[in-house]
């Protein structure tokens, strides 16, 4: 299995290392031709406006939009979640695909970053325990999902009810950074999602 990791900015190396530890082949994506022969794509964190502008500049954006519309497996973490949203309340280049409204930087500045344990029942598919043990959510200038459409499955919420992980078909979005958590289960979940029947 070959998974692309958009490598324009952000924690793409950490995603690659976690995927490779699970036996997946990885490929850094910077140009449209790099998108060939992939089984899935991760859009990592970073600064969503910058990543969007670079994707447009490098000729990637239209192809990424086509992939998202076609049902190709994609996972956005933090800024990647923002880029996969249909609406972020401001003008910026978006891939779209997820029927969600996202609020950027919902928790404040970098100094307001935090870690919290999240209950994610869907991870039972890739966990050794039932119910699965909570997942360590690492939030760094993180967004939240303000609204989710009827076809969007909510995978995780904070204790106050705010949505921080979603799935729609083979599109996955997390407001936090599983690649920084030391816990492989979300990466296992994405790999399983790629193989699942529609």
Cα–Cα distance list, 55 to 13, 95, 168, 177 (Å): 18, 10, 23, 21
**Is 34 considered catalytic here?**
no
| Site of tokens 């492989």 | 184
Catalytic residue among 14, 15, 103, 179: 179
The yes-or-no answer on residue 179 being catalytic is yes
Structure tokens at 95: 């891939």
Q: How far is CA 35 from the centre of its chain?
A: 17
Catalytic residue among 14, 15, 177, 187: 177
Query: How is the chain split among helix, strand and coil, in percent rounded to 5?
Result: 30, 30, 40
Please report which helix (H) or strand (E) contains residue 14, including its range. helix 12-21
Q: Which of 78, 103, 125, 159 is catalytic?
A: 78
177 flagged as catalytic: yes
137 vs 181: CA distance, rounded Å: 7
Give the residue from 175, 121, 177 showing the smallest Cα distance to 145: 175
Residues with a known catalytic role: 78, 177, 179
């Amino acid at each position: 299995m070959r998974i692309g990791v958009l490598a324009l900015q952000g924690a793409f190396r950490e995603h690659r290392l976690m995927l490779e530890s699970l036996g997946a082949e990885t490929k850094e994506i910077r140009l449209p031709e790099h998108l060939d022969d992939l089984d899935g794509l991760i859009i990592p964190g970073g600064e969503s406006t910058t990543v969007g502008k670079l994707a447009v500049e490098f000729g990637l954006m239209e192809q990424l939009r086509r992939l998202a519309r076609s049902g190709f497996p994609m996972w956005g973490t933090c800024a990647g979640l923002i880029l996969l949203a249909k609406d972020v309340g401001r003008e910026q280049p978006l891939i779209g695909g997820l029927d969600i409204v996202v609020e950027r930087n919902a928790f404040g500045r970098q100094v307001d970053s935090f870690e919290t344990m999240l209950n994610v029942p869907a991870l039972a598919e890739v966990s050794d325990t039932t119910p699965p043990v909570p997942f360590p959510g690492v939030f760094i200038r993180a967004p939240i999902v303000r609204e989710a459409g009827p076809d969007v499955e909510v995978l995780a919420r904070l204790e106050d009810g705010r949505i921080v992980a979603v799935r729609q078909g083979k599109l996955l979005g997390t407001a936090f950074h599983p690649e920084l958590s030391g816990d492989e289960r979300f990466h296992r979940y994405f790999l399983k999602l790629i193989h699942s029947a529609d």
